[in-house]
Amino acid sequence: MFQLVNDVEQYPQFLPWCAHVAILNRSADEIEATVTATKGPWRKSFTTVNRLLPHDRVEMRLRNGPFRHLEGHWEFKSVANNASHVSLHLSFEFNNKLIAMAFGPLFQQMAGTLLHAFTQRAHQIYASQLID
């Protein structure tokens, strides 16, 4: 699951609100990427720097975008062979009331469905490995 979350280039394939991802910088312990989110004709991009603690945690912090703040983290705990408990904690506030009205519902939906979307993606990618 850690690898799946950090494969940000693939987000547009399974996150319906994600139109584009651009990797700005990648190292063994950090990824900086710009994500473009869409809702109808509206498009907004934001850049985060994600600190990677392999197989345990991903810490996200805002670099730039339409937020006063955006931060969060993914946590991964192995509970059995081929099974993990994954949690996502996300906090954000827009820097503009008009943007908050237009994009607030999208980002609430995005935050609310992220874990489910990644779980479904994991089943698509890893299901054949569980059968073998």
pTM score of the predicted model = 0.85
What confidence tens digit (pLDDT) does each residue in 12-51 have? 999 988 999 999 999 999 999 999 988 788 888 999 999 9
User: Whose structure tokens read 């999208």?
Assistant: 106
What confidence tens digit (pLDDT) does each residue in 90-99 have? 999 999 898 8
Question: Which tokens belong to 6?
Answer: 């950090």
Q: How confident is the model at residue 130 (pLDDT cuts 50, 70, 90)?
A: low
Whether domain 2-131 has CATH 3.30.530.20: the reply is: yes
Taking the C-alpha atoms of residue 120 and residue 67, their distance in angstroms, rounded to an integer, is 28
